[in-house]
Amino acid sequence: MSPAPDRFDDVEQLPTPALLVDEPALQANIETMSEARPGHSLRPHIKAFKSTALAARLAEAGHDIFCCATVAEMEGMAHAGLGADLLLANEVLDASRLGALTETARITVAVDSDETLAAAARAGVKEVLIDVNVGLPRCGCDVDDAGRLADAARAKGIDVRGVMGYEGHLMEMVDRDKQRAGVAKSMEVLANAHRAVGGDIVSAGGTGTFDINDVATEIQAGSYLLMDTHYAKVGLPFRRALSVLCRVISINTNGNYLVVDGGLKSLGMDHGNPTVDGAEVFFCSDEHTTLIPHEGTNWAIGDLVRLWPAHVDPTVAKHERMHIVDGDRVIDVYDIDLRHW
Amino acid sequence: MSPAPDRFDDVEQLPTPALLVDEPALQANIETMSEARPGHSLRPHIKAFKSTALAARLAEAGHDIFCCATVAEMEGMAHAGLGADLLLANEVLDASRLGALTETARITVAVDSDETLAAAARAGVKEVLIDVNVGLPRCGCDVDDAGRLADAARAKGIDVRGVMGYEGHLMEMVDRDKQRAGVAKSMEVLANAHRAVGGDIVSAGGTGTFDINDVATEIQAGSYLLMDTHYAKVGLPFRRALSVLCRVISINTNGNYLVVDGGLKSLGMDHGNPTVDGAEVFFCSDEHTTLIPHEGTNWAIGDLVRLWPAHVDPTVAKHERMHIVDGDRVIDVYDIDLRHW
């Protein structure tokens, strides 16, 4: 029911709310990460942007191995010809859709239990990583169980490529010394698991630890491409690139607040409200955000406003497409074609 | 990229995460509201469920006038043959897509300024409501400006059907006496505006005030159909109907937490975490929720779990379809066809 993805020359022409990606910031983020983590030392995480068009740019920049959070992301990447080496960095109990991809793509799936291993075997998935808990209370087997699981996999004829462990509890620490100590501790656990498991891969890390995780052979980072205000607080060398373009649709008679036409249905809200240059966010409704303008700023009905989301990943997942912009010029449109499950 | 909307007989067969609607609860909610607000004394709000299939059920129950929050919702309703009387209860500066609907549907749009009125006139929209601020710091003109705006509309040849005013700041008050006093005060403002504006319609209210707003000729309620844990706290006579079905994919070795395969990308998070029967929600990640099981409960990998979202509207907006269930039986699938903008 949404309007056709026409090409617009200028942001002024876009129906709002519209998702914008700032091209110079995006390109700078790609280059900054590629310098620190060239080629296969980075396994970009698709979940952050859910777009095969953007994934193709990373492949061109030398990062043609990817990790995904959902089966739908794996399918979309394989169908787009980006399946040279796809890791589902997540557990599944029905791997049949992954098995169906093994004809045309290289498919690896994380397993952390006999049940998830059995699902991979049943589906004909040929390669796994042993997912190890390194401190985040989420998936991952106990370090002491990793070797046993790897043996069980090999007994089923499945190749074990190595280990995976996500230190997600350390991603957004502001104190980098404390973060460094935490990462060292988590990665000691993963290195121990790796010794028991074998294989070439130690897959770990993310945008928050890309430059201090020395144990991972590949870093699973995705948010660095678009960044959000939450990650930006940590002081990483990446620029904010993602915003939700809105229009001022109403101004209170006294001028003490104004309303724009994008709200919590177009924004990831789990990390809190978005931020705006020149105003404070008062609150978000479904399709509105009420702003308190800073003193000395002037606003008119029809003005364009960019909301900077607190969390990039779920913001992207709410939109059908992202408009690539350079200043106010729309230079491309990328479908967000890897949504849903 | 999502799996085809096959028909499944049992929730056990559904790929997870999947959106479920409990049919007995839904039907009870439809009937409870219809008794209190029969026929056109209710203008159901499409934004809460974004599905023409569900809207058609309301039309069958006698509620065939609707309000929408987005132009895409208006378009979808008109194209589905549900355009007998559609109100866009929101301001727009580009009404051209609404104007295009006036051939086949009755289209009314809210205006609160000369700019939004001009947009309606420019697009050929023939009917408006004057949107009046009744206390919520969002859209709506000052009560003293309502008569002038109505005159300006009529001078442009536009029919003014009446007024609209949303007492959204009072929706979730737990103290009903205080809420009643607040609604009376807000509706006094709206009644004053109505005297200045004229017309037949006083459109206001919502799920939280459906039974205490005596001034509104029509109540704009939508959330009552599916309910959420946030509204449920207020003690309204509606049953929770919407959940996100997940599977347990990982259990910590010590059994002190477990992980299900649905997270903040499948849930509206602006009102906080979902709730779960038999466990506490520890935290939500993109595609995971970590749960702390209650003592005495037993869990196994593969168990189905229903997450009850804190906020229905943005939860629905993240999914492509809702599975209508009676217990564990899947009896129908409704497309969520009114998403995006």
Mean pLDDT for B94-98 is 95
Residue of chain A whose Cα is closest to the Cα of B336: A1
Q: Evaluate if residue B48 carries a pLDDT over 60.
A: yes
Q: Is B104 on the interface with A (CB under 8 A)?
A: no
Asked if A200 and A242 sit in the same domain, the reply is no
Interface list for B 222-281 with A (CB within 8 A) = 247, 249-253, 257, 259, 261, 264-266, 268-270
**What integer pLDDT is reported at residue B159 of this predicted model?**
98
Asked if A53 and A121 sit in the same domain, the reply is yes
Asked if A286 and A261 sit in the same domain, the reply is yes
- The verdict on residue A231 lying in a domain is no
Q: Is B145 on the interface with A (CB under 8 A)?
A: yes
User: Do residues A163 and A153 lie in contact, with contact meaning Cβ atoms separated by under 8 Å?
Assistant: no
**What integer pLDDT is reported at residue B157 of this predicted model?**
98
User: Do residues B227 and B240 lie in contact, with contact meaning Cβ atoms separated by under 8 Å?
Assistant: yes
Contacts of A181 (CB under 8 A, 6+ apart): none
Q: Is A298 on the interface with B (CB under 8 A)?
A: no
Q: Which amino acid makes up residue B244?
A: V
- The verdict on residue B244 lying in a domain is yes
In the structure, what pLDDT confidence band is assigned to residue B7 with cuts at 50, 70 and 90? low
Contacts of B98 (CB under 8 A, 6+ apart): B71, B74, B88, B92, B107, B109, B120, B123, B125
Chain A nearest CA to B85, separation (Å): 19
User: Do residues A15 and B341 lie in contact, with contact meaning Cβ atoms separated by under 8 Å?
Assistant: yes
Q: Which amino acid makes up residue A132?
A: V
- The verdict on residue A341 lying in a domain is no
Asked if B57 and B201 sit in the same domain, the reply is yes
Residue of chain B whose Cα is closest to the Cα of A137: B290
Q: Evaluate if residue B63 carries a pLDDT over 50.
A: yes
Asked if B61 and B180 sit in the same domain, the reply is yes
Asked if B48 and B196 sit in the same domain, the reply is yes
CATH code for the domain of B219: 3.20.20.10
Q: What is the pLDDT of residues A173-205, one digit of tens each?
A: 889 999 999 999 999 999 999 999 999 999 999
Q: Spell out which residues of chain A touch residue B95, defining contact as CB-CB under 8 Å.
A: none
| Average pLDDT of every residue of chain B | 95
The stretches in chain A having pLDDT less than 50 are 1-5
**What integer pLDDT is reported at residue B4 of this predicted model?**
46
Of B297, B98, B127, B91, which Cα lies nearest the Cα of B201?
A: B127
Asked if A124 and A196 sit in the same domain, the reply is yes
Asked if A211 and A323 sit in the same domain, the reply is no
- The verdict on residue B341 lying in a domain is no
The structure tokens listed for A80 are 């787009």
The structure tokens listed for A256 are 């003490």
Rounded distance between C-alpha atoms, residue B214 and residue B216, angstroms: 6
Q: Spell out which residues of chain B touch residue A15, defining contact as CB-CB under 8 Å.
A: 71, 94, 341
Q: Evaluate if residue B192 carries a pLDDT over 90.
A: yes
**What integer pLDDT is reported at residue A181 of this predicted model?**
95
Last residue of a domain, one of B226, B246, B273: B226
Mean pLDDT for B178-202 is 97
Contact B285 A15 (CB under 8 A): no
- The verdict on residue A6 lying in a domain is no
Q: Evaluate if residue B51 carries a pLDDT over 50.
A: yes
Asked if B47 and B173 sit in the same domain, the reply is yes
Q: What is the pLDDT of residues B245-297, one digit of tens each?
A: 999 999 997 769 999 999 999 999 999 999 999 999 999 999 999 999 999 99
- The verdict on residue A5 lying in a domain is no
**What integer pLDDT is reported at residue A3 of this predicted model?**
44
Q: What is the pLDDT of residues B107-160, one digit of tens each?
A: 999 999 999 999 999 999 999 999 999 999 999 999 999 999 999 999 999 999
- The verdict on residue A254 lying in a domain is yes
User: Do residues B202 and B156 lie in contact, with contact meaning Cβ atoms separated by under 8 Å?
Assistant: no
Least CB–CB distance from A341: residue in B15, B112, B116: B15
How many folded domains does chain B comprise? 2
Contact A301 B115 (CB under 8 A): yes
CATH code for the domain of A284: 2.40.37.20
Q: ipTM of the predicted structure? A: 0.94
Size of interface A-B (CB pairs under 8 A): 169
Contacts of B180 (CB under 8 A, 6+ apart): B212
Which domain covers residue B293, as residue numbers?
Answer: 11-20+238-335
The structure tokens listed for A91 are 């557990």
Q: Cβ of A38: how many Cβ atoms within 10 Å?
A: 12
Q: Spell out which residues of chain A touch residue B115, defining contact as CB-CB under 8 Å.
A: 301-302
Asked if B256 and B219 sit in the same domain, the reply is no
Q: Is B157 on the interface with A (CB under 8 A)?
A: no
- The verdict on residue B281 lying in a domain is yes
Contact B69 A286 (CB under 8 A): yes
Q: Evaluate if residue B193 carries a pLDDT over 80.
A: yes
Asked if B312 and B176 sit in the same domain, the reply is no
Q: Evaluate if residue B8 carries a pLDDT over 90.
A: no
**What integer pLDDT is reported at residue A2 of this predicted model?**
44
Last residue of a domain, one of A226, A260, A283: A226
Asked if A216 and A315 sit in the same domain, the reply is no
Last residue of a domain, one of A226, A247, A263: A226
